[in-house]
């Protein structure tokens, strides 16, 4: 029986992960499940999969979690420390599906035990890619990508040599506003930005898809995870979301990965790797689909893509600053404090504030180093929002 833990179990990726695990419960022993304020769902998951421990990120939810788990034999815990402790419980496979930089510390802890880390939390790679890979290497642990594009690249690279890769293209659906004119974007509402044409995902990544900050994170994620030079990485808008990524080789061959827009593909691949298993996902009927379309992203409507290039050029801790500034900008947009296009303006201002100081391009020496950069970017971003200097 494989011991598995799921961080962010109550979110979109977490629920899909437990859907796959729950289809073969005899094959798994569920160690830890974690969530936020949706205690009813967390307790239901923990009871039905007989988890060892359920952890809520919020200490004020502990009493409710305890009550919901009464008599089940599942331990209850709460708070940031409890999350890390849960990550120290030995497990063979750990899903990292907390949203945001909050997912970093549990991922590091899991790697220290040599667990295979299925990484949906792209923020970890953007903020601390080099450290995370070094941690995995030091403990003989493996990181498997769960983002659909990166799982696709990983699969296209199987049996290939990385030196022979000429380019990597990750596709973008274009999000909710792919056909909106630039003039309308600033007035876009949170509700409008929270709908996705093809994927059902958590609200934050859905809004990041509308602004293409998600693709910006994914460009950096590609660079960090596969070690491919930024100039070899590109993105193309593909409204159907059926081709997830393409890898081009020195002989001109381009290997594409296709599949239905269902995260259980990428999650299932990481869960069963290096084998493949039957997955409950729709099969594509190409004749019925008829056509696939591609177009270049509009740099004016999606400045986040240019910012990602700047971050990759700076290197070092710029990714941590970028991710944190993006999280603060997104909070500001969701709270109605800044407009849609202000998110990119704010991130750009924070990056420029921070790059005028020394050291942004220096490699992070430790997770504390990363978290200090993260905290500085958040403070600068919040200050700019509250003083209206965006
Ligand atoms: P979600 O918002 O649906 O779920 C997030 C989970 O994290 C929930 O369980 C929530 O309780 C928990 N959480 C939130 N803030 C937390 C905090 N501060 N501390 C501890 N736990 C916290 O998000 P999601 O869409 O499932 O995305 C999860 C991660 O996977 C993100 O990094 C996202 O970028 C990535 N991802 C998601 C998809 C997708 O299809 N949803 C695809 C690719 C990558
Ligand atoms: Mg993706």
Quote the CA–CA distance of 243 and 88 in Å, as a whole number. 37
Q: Which residue among 8, 39, 144, 245 is best mutated to probe the pocket of ligand 1, counting the most ligand atoms within 8 A of its Cβ? A: 8
Give distance in angstroms: CA of 13 to centre of ligand 1.
7
Instruction: Tell me the ligand closest to 331's alpha carbon.
Output: 1
Asked if the model's pLDDT at residue 358 lies above 80, the reply is: no
| Ligand 1 contact, 120 CB (< 6 A) | yes
Share of the chain above pLDDT 70, in %: 100
Q: What is the mean pLDDT of residues 307-325?
A: 98
Res 32: pLDDT = 98
Q: Is 378 in the pocket of ligand 1 (CB under 6 A)?
A: no
Spatial contact of 67 and 89, defined as CB atoms under 8 Å apart = no
Q: Is 140 left (phi over 0), alpha (psi -120 to 50) or beta?
A: left
Low-confidence winner among 3-17, 265-279, 331-345, 349-363 (lowest mean pLDDT): 349-363
Beta carbons within 8 Å of 41's beta carbon, 6+ residues apart: 10, 35
Q: Is 367 in the pocket of ligand 1 (CB under 6 A)?
A: no
Residue with tokens 């293209």: 169
Q: For position 293, what pLDDT does the model report?
A: 98
Contacts of 373 (CB under 8 A, 6+ apart): 317, 320, 321, 324, 354, 360, 364
What digits encode the pLDDT tens for the residues 46-88? 999 999 999 999 999 999 999 999 999 999 999 999 999 999 9
What domains sit in the chain, N to C, each tagged with a CATH number? 2-145 (3.40.50.720), 150-289 (no CATH), 315-387 (1.10.1740.10)
Residue 147 CB–ligand 1 contact under 6 Å = yes
The answer to whether the CB of 35 is under 6 A from ligand 1 is yes
Ligand nearest to the CA of 120: 1
Its sign, for the CA torsion 291, 297, 300, 305, is positive
Q: Number of helices (H) and strands (E), helices first, in the chain?
A: 17, 11
What is the pLDDT averaged over residues 249-261? 98
Strand ordering across the sheet containing 143-145: 75-78, 53-56, 28-35, 2-7, 93-96, 116-119, 143-145
Give the whole-angstrom CA distance, residue 123 versus residue 128. 8
Q: Is 263 in the pocket of ligand 1 (CB under 6 A)?
A: yes
Mean pLDDT of the chain: 97
pLDDT of residue 357: 78
**Phi, psi dihedral angles at 55 (to 5 degrees):** -125, 130
**CA trace torsion 157, 158, 159, 165 (10° rounding):** 0
pLDDT one-digit tens code per residue, 111-129: 999 999 999 999 999 999 9
Ligand 1: which of 6, 10, 13 to mutate, judged by most atoms within 8 Å of the beta carbon? 13
**Average pLDDT value for residue range 246-261:** 98
231 alpha carbon – ligand 2 mean position (Å): 20
**14 CB within 6 A, ligand 1:** yes
């Amino acid at each position: 029986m494989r011991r598995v833990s799921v961080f962010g179990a109550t979110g979109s990726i977490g629920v899909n992960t437990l859907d796959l695990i729950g289809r073969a419960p005899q094959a798994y022993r569920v160690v830890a499940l974690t969530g936020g304020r949706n205690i009813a769902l967390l307790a239901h998951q923990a009871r039905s999969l007989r988890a060892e421990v359920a952890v809520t990120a919020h200490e004020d939810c502990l009493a409710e979690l305890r009550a919901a788990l009464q008599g089940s034999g599942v331990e209850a815990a709460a708070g940031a420390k409890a999350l890390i402790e849960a990550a120290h419980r030995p497990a063979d496979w750990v899903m990292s599906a907390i949203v945001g930089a909050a997912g970093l510390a549990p991922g590091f802890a899991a790697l220290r035990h040599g667990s295979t880390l299925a990484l949906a939390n792209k923020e970890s790679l953007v903020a601390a890619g080099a450290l995370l890979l070094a941690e995995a290497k030091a403990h003989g642990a493996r990181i498997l990508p769960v983002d659909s594009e990166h799982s696709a690249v990983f699969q296209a690279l199987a049996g290939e040599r990385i030196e022979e890769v000429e380019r990597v293209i990750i596709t973008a659906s274009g999000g909710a506003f792919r056909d909106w004119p630039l003039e309308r974007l600033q007035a876009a509402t949170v509700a409008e930005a929270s709908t996705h044409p093809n994927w059902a995902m958590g609200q934050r990544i859905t809004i990041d898809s509308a602004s293409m900050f998600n693709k910006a994170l994914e460009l950096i994620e590609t660079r960090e995870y596969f070690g491919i030079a930024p100039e070899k990485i590109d993105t193309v808008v593909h409204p159907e979301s059926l081709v997830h990524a393409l890898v081009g080789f020195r002989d001109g061959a381009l290997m594409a990965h296709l599949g239905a827009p269902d995260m259980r593909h990428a999650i299932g691949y990481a869960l069963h790797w290096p084998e493949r298993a039957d997955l409950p996902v729709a099969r594509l009927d190409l004749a019925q689909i008829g056509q696939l379309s591609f177009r270049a992203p509009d740099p004016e409507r999606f400045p986040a893509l240019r910012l990602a290039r700047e971050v990759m050029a700076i290197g070092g801790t710029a990714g941590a600053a970028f991710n944190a500034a993006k999280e603060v900008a997104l909070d500001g947009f969701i709270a109605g404090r800044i407009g849609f296009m202000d998110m990119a303006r704010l991130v750009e201002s924070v990056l420029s504030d921070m790059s005028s100081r020394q050291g942004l391009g220096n490699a992070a020496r430790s997770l504390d180093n990363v978290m200090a950069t993260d905290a500085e970017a958040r403070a600068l971003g919040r200050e700019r929002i509250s003083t209206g200097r965006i």
